[in-house]
Amino acid sequence: MIGIQPVDKIRAAEREFAEANPDVNLMLRAADQVAELAERMVPSGTILVVVGPGNNGGDGLFAARKLVRDGRRQVMVWPVAGTAHPQGVVAARQVGIRFLNDLEVGRLLPDIALVIDGITGIGGRTGLPENVHWFAEMCDVLKIPVLAIDIPSGLAAEDHHRPAHVLAATRTITFAAPKLCHLAQPAASACGDVEVADIGLELPKSNLRQMQRMDVARWWPWPTPYTDKYSRGVLGIDTGSDRYPGAAVLPVTGAVYSGAGMIRFTGPDRLADLILHKLPSVTVGSGRVEAWLVGCGWSEEGAEQRFGPILESGVPLVIDADALRYLPKRLPEGSLLTPHAGELAELLGISRPEVEDDPVGKAYEAAERWETTVLLKGATQYIANPFEKRVTLAIAGPSWTAQAGSGDVLAGICGTLLAAGLPAPKAAALAASVQAMAAARKPGPFPPDVVAQAIPEVLVHLAELADQPVLAGDLTPRSIAAQ
Ligand SMILES: NC(=O)C1=CN([C@@H]2O[C@H](COP(=O)(O)OP(=O)(O)OC[C@H]3O[C@@H](n4cnc5c(N)ncnc54)[C@H](O)[C@@H]3O)[C@@H](O)[C@H]2O)[C@H](O)CC1
C-alpha cells in the first residue's frame, strides 16, 4: 500500500526536515534525482528546462546545472514567467547555460531531445499559464519527451481533473510520496510513468492510499492443503432478469474465475440454464451461503421481493445496480455497495457531476451514511472504508474495461472474496485490482467475460511473486501491462 499525501503534509515534512537538518539542501537532492532520470531518459541530445517562478523552477535550474556539469551536453533554460528562482538562475548562469525567450524556444524546439518541466509543482493551480499553451501543444505534436518535476504543469496536486491545457508528461518524478493527481484519472493520464524519489522526508500515515501488487499477493485468500469447497466460501448469487439475462451470467463468470469455492444461483430458472451451459460447476437453488451477491440486471419488477429474504439472511452482501435502489437503513454487517457515479449520485440525492467532482469525498459520505464499505466504480476505483476512516484506490487498468458488463463481473469477484471471509474493504480493493490486472493482460476490446478468464493467469503470476519481498515498478497502469 502506498500513501497518497496532501500538499500540506509534504510542506510540513519539509519544514521539519529543514529544522532538523539545517545543512542539507533539499532542492539540490531533488535536482540531482531529476538530472539522473533525465540522463536515463535521453543519454544524449539537447535538453530544454522550462522553469516557472517558484521552487519547482529552482529544482529545474539546479538539475540543468548538474546535467551540464556531468554530461557536458547542451542544456537551455526558458523562464516562462520572466523571473525564476534567484539562486538557481545564478547557478545555471555560472555553468554557461543559455537562457531563451519565447521566439527562440519556438525556433529551437524541433531539435530538443527532452523537455524538463519545472513550471509549477505542488504550488500549482489548475491550468497552464497562457503563454505556455502553444508550447504544450507543440511538444505533443512533435512528440518530444517531457519529464515533469513533481507535478505536470497544468495539474493541481490534489485534483483528479485534467484541464484542457496541461504540459503532458512522458514521465514524472515526484518527491517523497505520490499525490492524488498522479494516480486518479483523468489527471493521471497526463503524468506518464510516475517515479517516487526519496529525498529524506518523513511523512505521517495517510488515510488516502493506493493498492500495490504486493498487497494483492499478500491478501489474496490462497487455497491451502486443508481447503475444501466450503471453507473457500459458498456464494449465493441472485442476479439477472428476462430483460437482462447476461447480468446473470457475467457475475457468475467473475465469481468462478476468481475462485469461489461453490456458487448457488437462485435467479430465474431460464437464466440458470444459460449459466449451466457455460459454467457447469455452478449449482442451482438455495442452501447455506457465506455471502450473497444481489442486484445486477434485476430491473425494477420484483426487485424488492427478491431482496427481502436475502437481507434477512444476515450474511454479508455485495449490493450492486438495481438493488442499490432498495437499501434499508441498516445493512447486514460486512456488506459492500458497488455503485458507479450515477448510482452513487442517486443514493446521495445529488447530481452525477457532483460525484465526479469529488469522488473521494462522495464515496466516503455514502460509506458513513450506510456504515458500510463503498466501492465507487469508474476509470479510477475508490474504496471507502468508514471503519478505519480511509479511502483506497484500486490498482488501475486500461480503459477498455469501460464497457457494459464489467461491473457485473467485478461484483462477482467481490462476492467470491466476501464469501471467502475477507472483510469488505479488502475484498473490494482486491477485486477491483485483480480485474484491472486481468484487463491489462488483455489490452483490447475483449468482452468482460473474456477478461474474467484472464484472472487465473494473474493469480498464478501473483502467487509466484507473493514470496518476493519487493515488487518493482508499481504505481502506473503501464507497469501492470508489462507483467
Ligand atoms: N516539498 C518538497 O518536498 C520539496 C519541494 N521542492 C520543489 O518545490 C516545489 C514547490 O514549490 P513552490 O514554490 O511552493 O510552488 P511552485 O513552484 O509549484 O509554484 C509556485 C508559483 O507558480 C505560480 N503558479 C501556480 N500555478 C499557476 C498557474 N496555473 N498559472 C500561472 N502561475 C501559477 C504561483 O503563483 C507561484 O508563483 C515542489 O513541487 C518541488 O518541485 C524542493 O525543491 C524539494 C523539496
Dihedral over Cα of 211, 215, 217, 222: its sign? negative
364 pLDDT more than 80: yes
Average pLDDT on 262-287 reads: 96
Between CA 296 and CA 280 the distance in angstroms is 21
CB distance 159 to ligand 1 below 6 Å: no
pLDDT computed for residue 480 by the predictor: 42
Helix 406-419 vs helix 246-257: angle between axes, to the nearest 10 degrees?
50
Average pLDDT on 308-312 reads: 95
Cα-to-chain-centroid distance, residue 57: 28
Secondary structure (3-state) at 92: helix
Phi and psi of 332, rounded to 5°?
-55, 140
Name the residue with the closest Cα to ligand 1, atom 43.
27
Choose among 158, 197, 218: nearest CA to 426: 218
Q: 26: CA distance to ligand 1 center in Å?
A: 14
Which ipTM value was assigned to this complex? 0.96
Q: 318: CA distance to ligand 1 center in Å?
A: 44
**Percent of the chain topping pLDDT 70:** 96
Between CA 156 and CA 174 the distance in angstroms is 13
Reported confidence tier of residue 301, pLDDT bands at 50, 70, 90 = confident
pLDDT computed for residue 104 by the predictor: 98
User: What single DSSP character describes residue 85?
Assistant: -
Q: Which CATH architecture has domain 213-465?
A: 3-Layer(aba) Sandwich (3.40)
Per-residue pLDDT tens for 29-61?
999 999 999 999 999 999 999 999 999 999 999
CB distance 33 to ligand 1 below 6 Å: no
Q: Which three cell numbers, joined as nine digits, stand for 199?
A: 529525498
The residue ranges of DSSP E strands in 198-339, in sequence order, are: 208-210, 234-238, 262-265, 283-284, 291-294, 317-319, 336-337
Cis peptide preceding 280, ω within 30 of 0: no
Q: 146: CA distance to ligand 1 center in Å?
A: 18
- Number of residues assigned to the chain: 483
pLDDT computed for residue 373 by the predictor: 98
479 pLDDT more than 70: no
Between CA 258 and CA 454 the distance in angstroms is 10
Between CA 106 and CA 102 the distance in angstroms is 6
Atom of ligand 1 nearest to the CA of 153: 29
Q: Which three cell numbers, joined as nine digits, stand for 201?
A: 522526508
Q: What is the pTM of this model?
A: 0.94
pLDDT computed for residue 465 by the predictor: 75
Provide the β-strand partners of residue 50.
78, 117
pLDDT computed for residue 70 by the predictor: 86
CATH class of 2-207: alpha beta
Residue extent(s) of CATH 3.40.1190.20 domains in the chain: 213-465
pLDDT computed for residue 467 by the predictor: 65
Choose the residue to mutate in 150, 153, 195 for probing ligand 1, maximizing ligand atoms within 8 Å of C-beta: 150
Residue extent(s) of CATH 3.40.50.10260 domains in the chain: 2-207
**Longest Cα–Cα distance in the chain:** 81
